[in-house]
Structure 1
């Protein structure tokens, strides 16, 4: 029974770290988009903003999941590693977004708020996912 309790507490701790990191990811995407992200997605039903946010959250999930798996059942190392790798991943994703923004015509943040679906958002979304995968590979 104590193993179950320990595993449940570890799951709770990893879940909290993952949710906090996704919250940071949400804030970063919100900063990159003109206007309020929650209004763009939930009120305006903006698919561009939703796709970018979803890819960011998935990238964070990939990184945190890999850090947990790579922790070799060392709870503290796994927890610290998940938080550290997640933060590094978010910084790299933000940097990749800025580089993509500089390399493309116009402002990527403004494209995100366009009510019409835009192919550039798919490119940015794949950058988030690929970044998460690269960091995950570096962890394992």
Structure 2
């Protein structure tokens, strides 16, 4: 009771808006992570979720790096959002989605340029050096795209 009286009357509204904003940005972030995973799966030969569940080491490595790179992009998209809450949510969503598209396209282009047969690599039951190259490309290009969003 004493604490409630000691705080400014506008504090509770501020706190409620802040909590609401956190929850809305979290929902946007989670949705974009799902879209990012779907984009990686869509552009990768085979059923990526099944390969990950089966524990194929290269599929797990590349997927983990892809998700990390998507997180970089989404975090920066949320960080640079400005304006009202609605404007911030919309810009986060748009910048995040454009960043995800750029990320996936860049990784696929790199695989093509280097001649890596990603389908063969991710379906292998033995760890492959090429998987580390693709994973590193995901992280590096994710950082580049995230900075481009910034």
Q: Tell me the TM-score range normalised by the shorter chain.
A: 0.7 to 0.9
1:137 matched to which residue of 2?
147
2:44 matched to which residue of 1?
33
1:117: Cα distance to partner? Answer: 1.0
In 1, the alpha carbon distance for the partners of 2:15 and 2:71 equals: 24
What is the Cα-based RMSD across aligned positions, in Å?
Answer: 1.9
Number of equivalenced pairs: 139
Using a 3 Å threshold, how does the CA distance of structure 1 residues 125 and 12 change in structure 2: closer, same or farther?
same
Using a 3 Å threshold, how does the CA distance of structure 1 residues 26 and 139 change in structure 2: closer, same or farther?
closer
1:111: Cα distance to partner? Answer: 0.8
- TM-score, scaled relative to structure 2: 0.80
| Structure 1 runs not aligned, ≥5 long | none
1:72: Cα distance to partner? Answer: 4.7
- Conservation of the 8 A alpha-carbon contact between 1:48 and 1:114: yes
SS, match of residue 94 in structure 1:
helix
SS, match of residue 115 in structure 1:
coil
Picking from 7, 11, 24, the partner of 1:13 is 24
Q: Which moved more, 1:101-110 or 1:23-32?
A: 101-110
1:40: Cα distance to partner? Answer: 0.9
| Structure 2 runs not aligned, ≥5 long | 1-11
1:1-140 alignment runs, 5 A limit: 1-42=12-53, 44-72=54-82, 74-140=84-150
Using a 3 Å threshold, how does the CA distance of structure 1 residues 92 and 117 change in structure 2: closer, same or farther?
same
1:106: Cα distance to partner? Answer: 4.9
SS, match of residue 71 in structure 1:
coil
Using a 3 Å threshold, how does the CA distance of structure 1 residues 131 and 106 change in structure 2: closer, same or farther?
closer
In 2, the alpha carbon distance for the partners of 1:36 and 1:135 equals: 26
In 2, the alpha carbon distance for the partners of 1:100 and 1:138 equals: 18
